[in-house]
């Protein structure tokens, strides 16, 4: 399969066209077909995983075609371990959302399925694009179906929420476009030909000022998406108004596009600027952890609570990324997956009772365990996954992030650890008010437990939460080499940063790790095309030299 | 005082594959209860629940005998698989049985089995029988992971796992909001400690990385603790101890344990007396090398332990709920164990941990039997004379009281005496004094509890009395076995001065070291005399006072004035914490949400949007609310972007 990635990306869009041809009224057929279509990328992803070479840290399954040759833009796709994991997350969540749609979408059913499938194509496109222009197009196109999902199938204030969502993210990404163009032009000036291919742009020489400005533009685009404090306020509104499936994908995948962007683009393209800003970003991340948790605590609405918990959890991910050591970054990547699984499941669970009672207010519930024991147990497992109980997936990510974050900066690591306490506080408190105590509202006395279909959406996520907590090795094996490559871009800059911080012992940590990784795997490749960045080869040696 | 034994590094480990089944057996039980429990009914659930723990007990015995029968320092290991690996960090799922953990697994599975058996009778009428046994089995599995894990991260799995089960079991009768709240409180207070635990682990890990050996196995930490920079070993030890104060209910995090009594009584016996709450003591003993490398941390451990022992004992005097008395007594006894660790007498701490598991489980189960027999009555002021109706419960409970009070010849005497003697011998005269004083208070409140419950005339209503009955055999049998252990359990550690060989301390020496007291026989006997005297004084005073019934509380209140009511209200610590921590946090959260999120950030954002809108002509179009309209706008926007891009690129090429 030479075009595996293209097949992966465009199958949902092709399927959407097929479904568009089905006349309105044949909802069951549409639903089944949509589910079948969404299972194809899942199967392709399994195949990709099976052929993926975990020992290589460069891009694999690369496809390159001329797109707009006169502008140097090409259709260039490829994956490394980081994008593979996020692709896996996307193709697992989409079928689940399509199954759940039958319960949560009551009008314009076809349109919803189409929007979801188109969304899948754009998300996958964003993850496989390794040409900056192609990436940007997918990145922006991704907004359209999500905007529609909130705006058409959303709640009462859907218009406000969808516009806010659009404004925040658009304002964030426009400067990024300018930066991309600037970067390509700088490269063209030096190399003599215009190119937007990521491999070409790595190592483009920029003046420190220009690099910082470009980094800032990328930062803004990604930070809004994550979302980082204080750019997060679009998120609670978007979640509260979005239909269940929209929330699942928004939290499960879309937010990760921001954190993914930092690893794939911001860090390798502008390593010095990113390293220079790492304390600031780390500080914002930790503020986000604590702030999100505190604000989540006082939310009367379950969905808003989960939304603010995302702000807190994504703060952890950002802390792991800016720690720029293997443990922190790998923990961050794992936590992206965990958050997709557990928060996706939480939104589905909130949807279960919302469909029955048409309210998400915590105060409207109470004593549900008695009425819905299976629901209560599912909720319990997912809640425990979300608060990072060891043995479940969330712990692995959180632990590694905090471990790496603590190495990066003890104070930030320690404050972040308090987020673990607060996280347990708001979740357990909500759980208690919803599940325990006597049934206080008459309407809740007639609640029925989860249906088979609802269980079918929940069980895969519960199984994942367990497996990823007990046996995380396969996931980490996929990412090791890619993380080493990514960190190698920053190793020179991090070594300098840690020297400046008067912590020479830290200086060689990521570099040493990447060297070890290379030695262990024997033949880790430099990034595609042999355009090894200056940092990848020179820095580890330098780091070692300085440290000893 | 000098170390007489060396570390267990000399002999080779015996690699086996059966240790994994020790925690796995109860886990299989959990799956059974969840999948089939409600279908197959109580008999099957009870049988499988007990059998699962029996299997663990059998395998634990095998491991114990292997260690005990091999040369000193032998460890049995079972390396299952690599669990985590990232950068410098890795952790395995690997289990180890050495002298220390062999004692622990025997206690956990042995006492655990008895309590499972007891629960068959105690919970017989509960409709959620299967759920209860699922939790209880899950707890046992988690506790065994905690004890058997050979590294800090794996221990932490068990550490939080037992916390989860504690949460679920305290709130087992969840329809009562108060019980559910107590469960939540236990989990959250423990989480505060757990944050300390992980930060301590991080500190040690990175310091070890800097030494060239990034590992969190107990063997590595203990072996290299002395090489760590002083700040790292001290900070690491103190942070881990914060975790211990949470799990083992010490100042300042003990406040969850008294509330935890909301759970069913077998839970109080198993989790909140015999096993889970001793995890902190086990952890410190497990890491004795680290704590010894930072002597100041041991000072802190000992001082906190002694202070908690005293504080909780004074609260215990004034409680009126039979389980609350036992709860504060547990907090106090755990304080004694930390006192032992703090003066370097790790073996003595573990000795007391074991004897305490016997007599405190016995006392809780006895209390449960009384509560069961008196139709859920827990107020000792409404009891009295119960010995007539419940002879077995009475006799076994009495032995438990004598054991905890430190009456010579019973288990508690030997272990408590060893702690006090060690404190004195190591020069911690103050801690010794606190311990002796605490011992007399312990004897006092336990005697009060015994007399008010079992002696005199029944003070409850007639109806209760007529239906009062001895508990069924599944409940009395565990009482009898535990009573026997509470009596003879101390004879494994009889000190030399009384003609014994202190085999227990010798057995533990390869794991935790063994310090000779270095006291002459005369001094040792004198110390013994003082603590026995203190205990007898407490018993005598309480007996005389409370033979007159609960009105003696008033006499005590008059004697102690305001202090007494403070003691009854547990010094209002909960209210203080609420005012100092919980309320400010909630107020801050509201303020952040309302002012920062909704007013400031959104204000800026919306303001900007409005400003932009009002500039353009299209402001009215933006407000039409027609989604298709917005959609078109977006598409137009994207088209414009692509266009701009193309143009930009063209210019770039041209330039």
CB contact A338 to B (< 8 Å)? no
Return left, alpha or beta for A155; rule: phi > 0 is left, psi -120 to 50 is alpha, else beta: beta
CA distances to A372, B250, B279, B327, B331 from B193, in Å: 33, 11, 12, 19, 16
Of A330, A539, A300, give the one whose Cα is nearest residue A426. Answer: A300
Residue keyed to tokens 């209200």: B569
Using a CB-CB cut-off of 8 Å, the residues of chain A touching B641 are 140, 177
Shortest Cα–Cα distance, B88 to chain A (Å): 7
CA distance A293 to A386: 12
Query: In 3-state terms, what secondary structure has residue B94?
Result: strand
Distance in Å, alpha carbon of A392 to nearest chain B alpha carbon:
9
The per-residue b/e assignment along B531-552, b for 16 or more CB within 10 angstroms, e otherwise, is bbebbbebbebbbebbeebbeb
Contacts of B635 in chain A (CB under 8 A): 144
Closest CA to A37 of A100, A118, A102: A118
Q: Which residue in A527, A543, A372 sits closest to A445, CA to CA?
A: A372
Contact A400 B585 (CB under 8 A): no
B176 closest CA partner among A109, A465, A28, A369: A369
Q: Is residue A177 part of a domain?
A: no
Chain A closest CA to B632's CA: distance in Å? 10
pLDDT value, residue B648: 52
Instruction: State whether A305 and A349 are in the same domain.
Output: yes
Does A527 lie in the same domain as A410? no
Note whether A299 and A429 are same-domain residues. Answer: yes
For chain B, the domain total comes to 1
Give the nearest partner residue to A400 out of B86, B586, B627, using CB atoms: B86
A-chain residues within 8 Å CB-CB of B596? Answer: 230, 291
Query: Does pLDDT of A148 surpass 50?
Result: yes
Give the count of beta carbons closer than 10 Å to the beta carbon of residue A520. 12
| pLDDT for position B641 | 59
Token pair, residue B85, equals 């690996």
Q: Has residue A110 been placed in a domain?
A: no
Beginning with the edge strand found earlier in the chain, give each strand of the sheet holding B76-86 in spatial order.
Answer: B14-15, B76-86, B89-97
Q: Flag whether residue A415 sits within 8 Å of chain B, measured between CB atoms.
A: no
If one counts the domains in chain A, the total is 2
Q: Is residue B327 part of a domain?
A: no
Mutate to test the interface with B, among A430, A436, A466, A518 (most CBs of B within 10 A): A436
Residue B597 lies inside a defined structural domain of this protein: yes
A307 vs B581, more confident:
A307
| Residue from A114, A134, A164, A390 to probe the interface with B (highest B Cβ count within 10 Å) | A390
Higher pLDDT, B261 or A490: B261
User: Tokens representing A539?
Assistant: 């820095």
Residue B146, C-beta contacts closer than 8 angstroms, at least 6 positions apart: B155, B157, B158, B159, B161, B162, B279, B282
Same domain, A428 and A537: no
Q: Do A417 and B88 touch (CB under 8 A)?
A: no
Strands (E), B199-327: none
Give pLDDT, residue B601.
Answer: 73
Q: What is the pLDDT of residue B172?
A: 92
State how far residue A1 is from chain B, nearest Cα, in angstroms: 31
Helix A271-297 and helix A473-500, axial crossing angle in degrees, nearest 10: 110
Closest CA to A387 of A422, A411, A352: A422
What's the confidence (pLDDT) of residue B631?
A: 55
> Which of B86, B182, B591 to mutate to probe the A interface, most A CBs <10 Å?
B86
Cα A142 from Cα A121, distance rounded (Å) = 8
Decide if A447 contacts A356 (C-beta within 8 A).
yes
Q: Classify the C-alpha dihedral A421-A418-A504-A268 as positive or negative.
A: positive
Residue of A nearest to B83 (CA): A471
Do A530 and A503 fall within a single domain? Answer: yes
Contact list, A72 vs chain B (CB under 8 Å): 649, 653
Peptide bond into A547 cis (omega under 30): no
- The answer to whether the beta carbons of residues B209 and B304 sit under 8 Å apart is no
Strands B14-15 and B76-86: parallel
The dihedrals phi and psi of B567, each to the nearest 5 degrees, come to -65, -40
Interval B156-196: pLDDT, tens: 999 999 999 999 999 999 888 888 899 999 999 999 999 99
**A177–B175 CB contact, under 8 Å:** no
* Cα–chain center distance at B436: 24
What residue in B sits closest to A192 (Cα-Cα)?
B653
- A425 with A508, same domain: the answer is no
Q: Which residues of A touch B637 (CB under 8 A)?
A: 170
Segments of chain B with pLDDT less than 50: 1-9, 616-625, 649, 652-655
Which residues of chain A from 72 to 91 reach within 8 Å of chain B, CB to CB? Answer: 72-73
User: Is the domain of A295 the same as that of A441?
Assistant: yes
Q: What residue in B sits closest to A430 (Cα-Cα)?
A: B184
Mean pLDDT for A372-385 is: 95
Which tokens sit at A228?
A: 């980082």
Measured from the Cβ of residue B70, the count of other Cβ atoms closer than 10 Å reads 14
Angle between helices B129-148 and B279-286 (to 10 degrees): 20
Are A509 and B87 inside 8 Å of each other by CB?
yes
- CB distance from A385 to chain B under 8 Å? no
Which 3 state secondary structure label does DSSP give A268? helix
B456 and B385 in contact (C-beta within 8 Å)?
A: yes
Report pLDDT digits (tens) over B455-473. Answer: 988 888 888 888 888 888 9
Q: Which of A164, A437, A476 sits opposite B85 (nearest CB)?
A: A476
Q: Provide the percentage of residues in chain A whose pLDDT is more than 90.
A: 64
Q: Taking a C-beta distance cutoff of 8 angstroms, is the pair B80, B19 a contact?
A: no
Could you say which residues from 181 to 220 on chain A have a Cβ atom under 8 Å away from some Cβ of chain B?
181, 184-185, 188, 194
CA distance B613 to A545: 57
> Does any domain span residue B427?
no
pLDDT band at residue A160, thresholds of 50, 70 and 90?
confident
The per-residue pLDDT for B562 is 85
| Interface membership of A402 toward B (CB under 8 Å) | yes
Cα(A267)–Cα(A254) distance, rounded to whole angstroms? 19
Check CB contact under 8 Å for B206 and A425: no
Q: Is residue B478 part of a domain?
A: no
Q: How far is B130 from chain A (nearest CA, A)?
A: 13
Please confirm whether the linkage preceding B252 is cis (ω < 30° from 0). yes
What would the mean pLDDT of A163-180 be, rounded to a whole number?
85
Range of A499's domain? 488-547
The answer to whether A371 and A444 are in contact (CB under 8 A) is yes
Same structural domain, A370 and A507: no
pLDDT at A544 over 80: no
| A463 in B contact zone (CB under 8 Å) | no
Beta bridge partners of B76: B14, B97
At residue B517, the pLDDT reads 80
Domain C-terminal end among A420, A439, A470: A470
Which residues from chain B sit within 8 angstroms of residue A416, using beta carbons?
none
pLDDT over 80 at A224, yes or no: yes
Instruction: With respect to residue B309, please indicate whether it lies within any of the assigned structural domains.
Output: no
Q: Residue B511 and residue B505: Cα distance in Å, rounded?
A: 10
Q: Tokens in use for A358?
A: 């048409």
Q: Which residues of A touch B589 (CB under 8 A)?
A: 294-295, 297-298
Residue B82 pairs in a beta bridge with B92
Q: Is the predicted pLDDT of residue A547 greater than 50, yes or no?
A: no
Predicted TM-score of the model (pTM): 0.90
Contact between chains at B89 and A403 (C-beta distance less than 8 A): yes
Cβ distance A298 to B625 less than 8 Å, yes or no, reads no
Residue of A nearest to B177 (CA): A437
- At residue B6, the pLDDT reads 42
Chain B environment of A436 (Cβ under 8 Å):
171, 174-175, 177, 180
Taking all residues of chain A, what is their mean pLDDT, rounded to a whole number? 87
Token pair belonging to B258: 């008294």
Dihedrals phi, psi of A75, to nearest 5 degrees: -85, 100
Over residues A386-416, the pLDDT tens digits come to 999 999 999 999 999 999 999 999 999 999 9
- Contact at 8 Å (CB) between B652 and B646? no
Tell whether A381 is covered by a domain. Answer: yes
Decide if A40 is inside a domain. Answer: no
pLDDT recorded at residue B608: 65
Domain boundary among A439, A470, A501: A470
For residue B599, the enclosing domain spans: 575-609+627-654
Chain A residues touching B586 at Cβ < 8 A: 297-298
Pairwise CB contact (< 8 Å): B198 & A152 = no
Pick from B198, B585, B641: CB nearest A402: B198
Q: In terms of domains, do A465 and A492 share one?
A: no
- Determine the residue of chain B that is closest to A421 in CA distance: B191
| Residue B637 domain flag | yes
- In this structure, are residues A94 and A11 in contact, taking their beta carbons and an 8 Å threshold? no
**Do residue A310 and residue A457 come from a single domain?**
yes
Q: Let me know if residue A518 belongs to a domain.
A: yes
Q: Do B596 and A230 touch (CB under 8 A)?
A: yes
C-alpha distance across the termini of chain A, in Å: 48
B588: in domain? yes
Query: Are B277 and B334 in contact, with CB atoms under 8 Å apart?
Result: yes
d(Cα A526, Cα A511) in Å, to the nearest integer? Answer: 14
Q: In this structure, are A359 and A306 located in the same domain? A: yes
The verdict on a CB contact (< 8 Å) between B649 and A181 is yes
Give yes or no: residues A308 and A365 share one domain.
Answer: yes
Both structure tokens of B448: 């009060």
pLDDT at A517 over 60: no
pLDDT at B67: 94
Instruction: Give the CA distances from residue B242 to residues A333, B135, B199, B304, B652, in Å, rounded to whole numbers and listed in that order.
Output: 30, 26, 10, 11, 62
Q: Would you call A230 and B85 a contact, using CB atoms and an 8 Å cutoff?
A: no
Integer Cα distance of B358 and B483 in angstroms: 7
Contact A233 B597 (CB under 8 A): yes
Q: A residues 474-503 near B, CB within 8 Å? A: 476
Q: Which among B277, B253, B246, B259 has a CA at the least distance from the CA of B177? A: B259
Beta strand A73-79 pairing with B89-97: unpaired
Tell me if A245 is assigned to some domain: no
List CB contacts of B368: < 8 A, sequence separation 6 or more.
Answer: B118, B122, B264, B265, B266, B268, B269, B475
């Amino acid at each position: 399969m030479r075009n595996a990635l293209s097949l992966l990306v465009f199958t949902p869009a092709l399927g959407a066209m097929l479904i568009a041809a089905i006349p309105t009224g044949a909802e069951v057929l549409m639903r089944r077909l949509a589910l079948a279509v969404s299972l194809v990328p899942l199967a392709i992803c399994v195949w990709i995983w099976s052929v993926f070479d975990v020992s290589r840290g460069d891009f694999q399954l690369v496809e390159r075609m001329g797109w707009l040759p006169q502008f140097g833009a090409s259709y260039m796709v490829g994956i490394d371990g980081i994008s593979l994991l996020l692709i896996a997350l996307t193709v697992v969540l989409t079928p689940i959302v399509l199954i759940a749609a039958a319960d949560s979408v009551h009008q314009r059913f076809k349109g919803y399925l189409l929007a979801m499938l188109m969304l899948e194509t754009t998300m996958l496109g964003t993850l496989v694009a390794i040409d900056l222009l192609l990436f940007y197009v997918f990145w922006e196109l991704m907004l359209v179906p999500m905007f529609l999902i909130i705006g058409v199938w959303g709640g009462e204030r859907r218009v406000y929420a969808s516009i806010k969502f659009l404004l925040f993210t658009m304002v964030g990404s426009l400067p990024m476009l300018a930066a991309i163009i600037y970067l390509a032009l700088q490269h063209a000036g030096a190399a003599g030909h215009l190119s937007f291919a990521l491999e070409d742009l790595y190592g483009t020489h920029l003046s420190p000022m220009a690099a910082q400005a470009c980094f800032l533009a990328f930062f803004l685009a990604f930070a809004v998406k994550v979302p980082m404090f204080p750019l997060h306020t679009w998120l609670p509104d978007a979640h509260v108004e979005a239909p269940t499936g929209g929330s699942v994908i928004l939290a499960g995948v879309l937010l990760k596009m921001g954190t993914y962007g930092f690893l794939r683009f911001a860090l390798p393209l502008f390593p010095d600027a990113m390293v220079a800003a790492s304390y600031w970003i780390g500080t914002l991340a930790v503020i986000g952890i604590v702030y999100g948790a505190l604000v989540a605590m006082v939310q009367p609405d379950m969905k808003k609570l989960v939304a603010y918990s995302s702000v807190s959890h994504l703060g952890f991910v950002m802390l792991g990324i800016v720690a720029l050591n293997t443990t922190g970054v790998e923990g961050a990547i794992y936590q992206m997956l965990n958050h997709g699984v557990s928060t996706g499941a939480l939104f589905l669970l909130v949807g279960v009772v919302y469909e029955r009672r048409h309210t998400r207010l915590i105060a409207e519930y109470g004593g549900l365990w008695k009425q819905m024991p299976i629901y209560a147990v599912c909720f319990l497992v997912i809640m425990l996954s979300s608060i990072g109980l060891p043995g479940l997936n969330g712990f692995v990510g959180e632990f590694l992030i905090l471990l790496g974050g603590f190495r990066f900066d003890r104070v930030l690591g320690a404050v972040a650890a308090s987020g673990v306490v607060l996280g347990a506080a708001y979740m357990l408190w909500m759980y208690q008010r919803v599940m325990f105590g006597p049934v206080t509202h008459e309407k809740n006395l007639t609640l029925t437990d989860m249906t088979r279909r609802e269980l079918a959406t929940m069980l895969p996520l519960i199984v994942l939460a367990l497996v990823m907590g007990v046996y995380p090795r396969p996931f980490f094996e996929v990412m090791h080499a890619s993380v080493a490559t990514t960190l190698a871009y920053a190793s020179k800059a991090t070594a300098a940063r840690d020297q400046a911080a008067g912590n020479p012992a830290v200086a060689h940590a990521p570099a040493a790790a990447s060297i070890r990784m290379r030695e262990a795997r024997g033949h880790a490749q430099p990034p595609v095309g042999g355009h090894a960045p200056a940092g990848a080869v020179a820095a580890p040696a330098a780091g070692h030299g300085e440290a000893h | 005082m000098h170390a007489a034994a060396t570390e267990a590094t000399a002999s080779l480990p015996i690699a086996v594959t059966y240790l994994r089944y020790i925690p796995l057996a109860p886990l299989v039980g959990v799956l059974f209860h969840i999948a089939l429990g409600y279908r197959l009914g109580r008999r099957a659930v009870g049988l499988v629940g007990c059998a699962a723990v029996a299997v663990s007990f059998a395998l634990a015995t095998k491991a114990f005998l292997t260690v005990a029968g091999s040369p000193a320092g032998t460890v049995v290991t079972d390396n299952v698989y690599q669990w985590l690996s990232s950068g410098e960090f890795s952790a395995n799922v690997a289990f180890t049985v050495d002298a220390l953990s062999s004692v622990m697994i025997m206690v956990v599975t042995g006492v655990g089995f008895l309590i499972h058996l007891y629960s068959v009778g105690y919970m017989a009428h509960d409709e959620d029988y299967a759920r209860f046994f699922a939790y209880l089995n899950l707890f046992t599995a988690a506790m065994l992971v905690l004890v058997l894990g050979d590294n800090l991260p794996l221990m932490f799995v068990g550490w939080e796992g037992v916390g989860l089960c504690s949460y679920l079991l305290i709130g087992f009768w969840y329809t009562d909001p108060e019980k559910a709240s107590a469960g939540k409180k236990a989990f959250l207070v423990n989480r505060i400690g757990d944050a300390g635990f992980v930060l301590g682990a991080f500190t040690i890990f990175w310091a070890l990385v800097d030494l060239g050996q990034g590992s969190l196995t107990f063997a590595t930490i203990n072996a290299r603790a002395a090489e760590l920079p002083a700040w790292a070993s001290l900070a690491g030890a103190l942070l881990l101890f914060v975790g211990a104060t949470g799990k083992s209910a010490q100042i300042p995090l003990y406040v969850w344990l008294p509330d935890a009594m909301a759970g069913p009584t077998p839970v109080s016996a198993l989790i909140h007396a015999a096993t889970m709450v001793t995890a902190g003591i086990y952890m410190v003993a497990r890491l004795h090398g680290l704590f010894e490398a930072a002597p100041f941390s041991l000072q802190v451990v000992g001082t906190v332990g002694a202070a908690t022992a005293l504080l909780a004992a004074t609260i215990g005097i004034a409680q009126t709920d039979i389980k609350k008395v036992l709860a504060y007594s547990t907090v106090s006894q755990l304080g004694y164990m930390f006192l032992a660790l703090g003066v370097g007498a790790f073996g003595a701490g573990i000795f007391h941990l074991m004897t305490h598991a016997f007599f405190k489980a016995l006392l809780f189960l006895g209390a449960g039997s009384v509560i069961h027999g008196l139709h859920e009555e827990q107020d000792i002021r409404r009891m009295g004379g119960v010995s007539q109706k419940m002879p077995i419960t009475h006799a076994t409970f009495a032995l438990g009281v004598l054991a905890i009070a430190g009456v010579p010849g019973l288990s508690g005497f030997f272990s408590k005496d060893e702690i006090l003697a060690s404190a004195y011998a190591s020069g911690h005269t103050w801690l010794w004094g606190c311990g002796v004083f605490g011992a007399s208070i312990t004897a006092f409140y336990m005697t009060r509890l015994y007399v008010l419950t079992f002696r005199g005339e029944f003070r409850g209503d007639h109806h209760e009395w007529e239906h009062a009955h001895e508990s069924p055999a599944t409940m009395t049998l565990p009482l009898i076995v535990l009573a026997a252990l509470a009596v003879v359990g101390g004879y494994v550690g009889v000190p030399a001065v009384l003609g014994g060989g202190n085999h227990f301390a010798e057995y533990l020496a390869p794991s935790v070291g063994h310090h000779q007291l270095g006291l002459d026989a005369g001094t040792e006997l004198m110390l013994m005399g003082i603590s026995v005297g203190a205990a007898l004084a407490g018993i005598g005073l309480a007996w005389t006072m409370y033979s007159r019934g609960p009105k003696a509380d008033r006499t005590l209140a008059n004697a102690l004035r305001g202090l007494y009511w403070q003691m009854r209200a547990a010094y209002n610590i909960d209210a203080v914490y609420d005012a100092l921590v919980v309320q400010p946090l909630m107020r801050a959260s509201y303020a952040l949400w309302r002012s920062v999120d909704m007013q400031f950030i959104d204000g800026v954002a919306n303001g900007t949007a409005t400003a932009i809108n009002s500039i353009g002509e299209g402001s009215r179009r933006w407000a039409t609310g027609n989604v298709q309209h917005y959609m078109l706008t977006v598409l137009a926007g994207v088209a414009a972007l692509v266009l701009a891009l193309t143009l930009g690129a063209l210019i770039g090429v041209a330039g």
